[in-house]
């Protein structure tokens, strides 16, 4: 939250607006009218444009989490989103309004052009017209032309994914990318990704690779995974997850505990990948060769959850 509501930011026309309302006003009243001329729609601080092949361009204004009553900063995030890539690569339910972090390719505005500002700051005494004008100029000058020139399936392998190869996400993205283009060599990407995960001792991600391969009609021999015990925790809720509330706290609590067992106790490996989930579900899977120790460690935390997950156990 930005500062206190009694703080105001000065507009060049002489009026004032509440300091806490500055970013939503910049998005709605300043940036959106310009982006609308280029075919964008808006939801809150995020702007969308639909292109061919189900690809969607996303422009998002992100507030710095450390904003305070004295100064606020925001960033411009850019993404290219494809529902199949989101669903199959990240194991996420396809959202009605995808967020920038759901995108397969992601950039900050200064990744696209070094001439653009990395961030935009303002204070209660700032001229909001001037702040908005700088952001608008950068978005219209650099972001809009960039997305007009880069919105096909090949561009989905750029951004975050393209800069982080080799990695499990890169191999999965490359496979789905080729699958969408009817390129049969996607089977090699899946096998290479599986081999990479085994070499790096990432059995949970190797299992994701096997699951994705099955969805795409490929069978991967997975003898290295034999003998692992899989625990699946599925939360089903009455409404879509929000950042706060008891349901979210329960889910975050279990996620944190499983992460501790993986990274601190070294008992096993966690994943949240499942393309079959709906927007009203969240799931975690944990793989271990020490099931008795794992069950001892996790039992007390399960009892403290505000909502109870459905739990399944099987030996692979």
Domain limits, the chain: 8-154, 173-224, 227-316
CA 96 to each of CA 93, 235, 282: distance values in angstroms, whole numbers, following the listed order:
10, 20, 16
DSSP 211-249: HHHHHTT-----GGGTT-EEEEEEEE-SS---SSSHHHH
Per DSSP, what are the bridge partners of residue 16? Answer: 10
Q: Which residues contact 203 (CB under 8 A, 6 or more apart)?
A: 197, 224, 225, 228, 269, 287
Q: Between residues 18 and 218, which one has the greater pLDDT?
A: 218
pLDDT above 90: residue 139 = yes
Confidence of residue 101 (pLDDT cuts 50, 70, 90): confident
Q: Are 182 and 262 in contact (CB under 8 A)?
A: no
Instruction: Give 172-183 pLDDT, tens digit per residue.
Output: 999 999 999 899
Average pLDDT, the chain: 88
Q: Are 272 and 282 in contact (CB under 8 A)?
A: yes
pLDDT above 70: residue 244 = no
Q: What's the CA gap between 63 and 46, in Å, rounded?
A: 12
User: CATH code for 227-316?
Assistant: 3.30.70.260
Confidence of residue 233 (pLDDT cuts 50, 70, 90): very high
Kindly report the pTM of this predicted structure.
0.78
Instruction: Give 257-316 pLDDT, tens digit per residue.
Output: 999 999 999 999 999 999 988 878 889 999 999 999 999 999 988 988 888 999 999 999
Percent of the chain past pLDDT 90, that is, above it, reads 60
The residue among 63, 46, 36, 155 whose CA lies nearest residue 98 is: 46
Instruction: Give 30-62 pLDDT, tens digit per residue.
Output: 999 999 999 999 999 999 999 988 999 999 999
The pLDDT value given to residue 241:
62
Percent of the chain past pLDDT 70, that is, above it, reads 90
The pLDDT value given to residue 247:
83
pLDDT above 60: residue 225 = yes
The residue among 63, 33, 57 whose CA lies nearest residue 45 is: 63
């Amino acid at each position: 939250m930005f500062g206190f509501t009694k703080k105001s930011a000065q507009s060049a026309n002489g009026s004032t607006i509440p300091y806490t309302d500055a970013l939503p006003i910049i998005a709605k009243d300043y940036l959106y009218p310009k982006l609308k001329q280029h075919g964008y729609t808006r939801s809150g601080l995020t702007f969308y444009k639909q292109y061919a092949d189900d690809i969607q361009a996303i422009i998002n204004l992100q507030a710095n989490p450390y904003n305070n009553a004295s100064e606020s900063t925001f960033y411009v995030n850019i993404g290219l989103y494809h529902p199949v890539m989101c669903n199959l690569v990240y194991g996420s339910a396809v959202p009605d309004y995808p967020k920038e972090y759901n995108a397969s390719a992601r950039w900050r505005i200064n990744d696209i052009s070094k001439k653009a500002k990395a961030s935009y700051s303002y204070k209660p005494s700032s001229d909001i017209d001037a702040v908005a004008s700088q952001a608008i100029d950068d978005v219209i000058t650099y972001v809009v032309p960039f997305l007009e020139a880069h919105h096909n399936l090949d561009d989905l392998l750029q951004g975050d994914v393209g800069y982080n190869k080799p990695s499990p996400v890169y191999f999965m993205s490359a496979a789905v990318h080729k699958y969408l283009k009817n390129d049969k060599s996607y089977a090699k990407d899946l096998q290479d990704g599986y081999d990479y995960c085994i070499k790096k001792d990432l059995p949970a991600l190797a299992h994701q690779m096997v699951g994705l391969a099955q969805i795409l009609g490929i069978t991967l021999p997975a003898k290295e995974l034999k003998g692992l015990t899989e625990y699946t925790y599925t939360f089903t809720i009455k409404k879509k997850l929000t950042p706060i509330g008891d349901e979210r706290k329960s889910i975050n609590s279990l996620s944190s505990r499983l992460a501790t067992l993986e990274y601190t106790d070294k008992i096993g490996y966690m994943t949240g990948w499942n393309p079959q989930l709906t927007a009203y579900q969240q799931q975690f899977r944990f793989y271990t060769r020490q099931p008795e120790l794992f069950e001892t460690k996790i039992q007390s935390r399960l009892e403290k959850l505000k909502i109870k997950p459905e739990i399944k156990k099987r030996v692979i």
